[in-house]
Structure 1
Amino acid sequence: MEQTERATKRIHLMDELRGFAVFCMVFYHAFYTLAYLFNLEFGKALLNFFMPAEPWFAGLFILIAGISSNLSHSNLLRGLKLAGIAAVVTLVTWLVVPAERILFGILHFLAICMILFGLIQPHLHRKRPFTWIPTILCALLYLCTRQVGSRLLGIGPICIPLPDVLYATDWLAPLGFHSPNFFSADYFPLLPWIFVFFAGTSIGRLAVEGRFPAFAYRSRVPFLSWLGRHALVIYVVHQPVIYGISWLVTMILSSVS
């Protein structure tokens, strides 16, 4: 009975963790803008300090997106809508700031993942018992493919080189294979990140069954929760706002000096 009640409750911890990831993302993009679009030294220093944390909060965001997909009525529809937004982001960045264009960023990535999950979800056994095996398998596959960008497949020292033909063009860039000339200011290829998303869809079975720990359903940081619930809107609008603030900071610094 308690699990049934939990299954209908909002999981505030997921909102807060997603909000934390969004909060970190905004600051990361702000430092990136100051460093590379406005060439400010303090922006470069902040970016270099913050950069090691980027894969962790990005991975957290993707994992929660996978968990949330279990609670969606139509992942296929969500994915198609997000793909449209991602296409607009590509078009706008290509026209306005071509040097910082986004060809396959996190919105493109999540759209593809949602569409894929939406296609296979009807074929999954909804009443299958939860097991950690799919999550562990996804973790291993992530570790095996995380060096695809470096033309390696494997874990640690146990790696095999991938054929050069995969990196001859940019047509396979969404998968993680691209030429040295490829550039996307925001880049999240399917390999290895798709395995983080699908690890989330596996863990999401616990959310469907209301089997998350009791503390996950309590609200603790409303601000982060609000950020998490409005993550898409924040992602779309935060870059123009950051650019405007960075331009203003640059003008102030120029007038002072």
Structure 2
Amino acid sequence: MADETGQAVPVAGPDRPPARGRVDALDLARTFALVCMAIYHFTYDLEMFGYIPPYTAVTGGWAIFARMIAGSFLFMVGISLYLAHGRGIRWRPFLRRLGVIVLAAALITAVTRYAMPQTYIFFGILHSIAAASLLGLAFLRLPSWMTLGIAALIVFGRSTLSATGLFDAPVLAGLGLTSWPVRSADFVPVFPWFAATLAGIAFARIAGAGGLWRRLARSGETPGRWRRALAWPGRHGLTVYLLHQPVLISALWVFARLTR
């Protein structure tokens, strides 16, 4: 099994995969989400290089596509968080991996602050994953119905909270409750996106009660070569995330230099 950042974890119990099993179906799901993310970012880069009309990547179907990708990542954070720590928080691996995510998020902030200061990323998907991982610990033992109820409150109560103006301080912008619009190349605030992680936690509990994780772990005990290859990016999602944009931008830069 892998946690929210791809780390292998032993799991056991009636609602978990066998000890030291791995649900590679989750790795495959992460790989699919990463491919979708790369497609979206390639579209964003094409716009940046002037190959497609401005605002293509942030309007219409592409904007919906981006939200679906972010939601899928945070949903899987909830699943992995429950499977890795639902019967007791394993603090050492949790804090180690959380530290890696926080450092990666800080790197993204530093680089974008230099490269695009007007729309730099101060609370993007990695920041949101880090926050959701921490906050999600408080919900691992709650009944699924209660977790889903809180998720609904987060989604539908956001506009009411933001209208109060109590959260307008710039330092609180990451909550997503400001009454003013936030300008950022990637903004995935706690409200409403933490709801996706809560939905993942609830789903993992419900699916575990039905034995889904054991069945998936058994089905992946002897994966074929292609299955292992397709699961590899999902097991190393953070590395893929950090490297894919430099690769795409470099390739487009070379292409532009050769063709213009």
Q: Same fold (TM over 0.5)?
A: yes
Structure 1 residues 240 and 99, CA gap change in structure 2 (3 angstroms): farther
What's the Cα RMSD here?
Answer: 3.2
Partner residue in 2 for 1:40: 51
Q: Match of 1:171, SS?
A: helix
Q: Match of 1:98, SS?
A: coil
Partner residue in 2 for 1:246: 252
Q: Deviations over 1:149-173 (max 9, x none)?
A: xxx23xxxxxx87124534x42221
Deviation at 1:183, TM superposition (A): 2.1
Does residue 225 in structure 1 map to residue 244 in structure 2?
A: no
Deviation at 1:95, TM superposition (A): 1.9
- Distance (whole Å) between structure 2 residues aligned to residue 89 and residue 46 of structure 1: 20
Q: Deviations over 1:196-243 (max 9, x none)?
A: 112222333357778226653334844442221111001111111111
1:5-154 map, 5 Å: 6-8=17-19, 9-35=21-47, 37-41=48-52, 49-70=61-82, 71=84, 73-74=90-91, 75-118=94-137, 120=138, 131-145=143-157, 148=158, 152-153=159-160
Partner residue in 1 for 2:182: 182
Stretch moving more, 55-64 or 91-100:
91-100
Moved over 6 A (4+): 207-210
> Contact (CA 8 Å) 2:167, 2:173: kept in 1 or not?
no
1:211-222 map, 5 Å: 211-212=211-212, 216-217=216-217, 218-219=219-220, 221-222=227-228
**TM-score normalised according to structure 1 size:** 0.76
Q: Match of 1:234, SS?
A: helix
- Work out the percentage of aligned pairs sharing the same amino acid: 28
- Distance (whole Å) between structure 2 residues aligned to residue 43 and residue 215 of structure 1: 47
**AA paired with 1:228?**
G
Q: Deviations over 1:62-97 (max 9, x none)?
A: 111111113153334432331122112111221234
Structure 1 residues 46 and 163, CA gap change in structure 2 (3 angstroms): closer
> Contact (CA 8 Å) 2:163, 2:179: kept in 1 or not?
no
> Contact (CA 8 Å) 2:148, 2:198: kept in 1 or not?
no
**TM-score normalised according to structure 2 size:** 0.75
**AA paired with 1:40?**
Y
